[in-house]
Amino acid sequence: MNVIEKILAKKAGLDHVKPGQEITVKVDLVMAHDVTAPIAIEQFRKIGVSRVYDPEKVVLFIDHNIPSSTVESRQQHRTMQAFHEDFGVQFYKRSDGVLHQVAYEEGLYGAGDIIVGADSHTCTAGAHGAVAIPLGSTEAAAVMALGELDLEVPETHIIRINGKLNSFVYGKDIVLHIIGRFTTNGFTDCAVIVTGDAIVSLPSEEKMTIANMMIECGAMIGYIDQGNGDPGPGAVEYDIDAAEIVPVAACPSSPGNVKPLSQLVGTRITQAVLASCTNGRYSDMEIAASVLQGRKIASHVNLVVVPASRRILEQMEENGLVKVFRDVGAIVMNPGCGPCFGSHQGLLTKDDVAVSSTNRNFPGRMGDKAAQVYLASPRVVAESAVAGYLVLPGTITKEV
Tens-place pLDDT, residues 277-313:
999 999 999 999 999 999 999 999 999 999 999 999 9
- Judge whether 17 and 59 are in contact, CB under 8 Å: no
Q: Is the pLDDT of residue 399 over 80?
A: no
Q: Which residues fall within 8 angstroms of residue 42, CB to CB, at 6 or more apart?
A: 141
| Average pLDDT value for residue range 148-155 | 97
The beta strands (E) that lie in the chain are given as 22-26, 29-33, 58-61, 90-92, 114-117, 131-134, 148-152, 156-162, 191-195, 221-224, 236-241, 248-250, 258-260, 271-274, 302-305, 331-332, 353-356, 372-375
Torsion of CA 216, 217, 221, 225, to 10 degrees: -100
Round the average pLDDT of the chain to a whole number and report it.
96
What is the CB-side half-sphere exposure of residue 139 using CA atoms within 13 A? Answer: 13
Tens-place pLDDT, residues 97-135:
999 999 999 999 999 999 999 999 999 999 999 999 999
- Judge whether 340 and 362 are in contact, CB under 8 Å: no
Q: Cα(205)–Cα(378) distance, rounded to whole angstroms?
A: 13
Q: How many CB atoms lie within 10 A of CB 238?
A: 15
3-class secondary structure, 321: helix
Torsion of CA 338, 60, 185, 264, to 10 degrees: 20
Question: What band does 140 get if pLDDT is binned at 50, 70 and 90?
Answer: very high
| Average pLDDT value for residue range 147-162 | 97
- % pLDDT > 70, the chain: 100
Q: Which tops the pLDDT comparison, 139 or 235? A: 139
Q: Cα(103)–Cα(58) distance, rounded to whole angstroms?
A: 11
Question: What band does 400 get if pLDDT is binned at 50, 70 and 90?
Answer: low
| Average pLDDT value for residue range 33-53 | 96
Burial class (CB in 10 A: 0-12, 13-18, 19+), 22: exposed
Tens-place pLDDT, residues 206-233:
999 999 999 999 999 999 998 877 888 8
Per-residue buried b or exposed e for 252-264, using 16+ beta carbons within 10 Å of the residue's own CB: bbbbbbbeebeeb
Question: What band does 67 get if pLDDT is binned at 50, 70 and 90?
Answer: very high
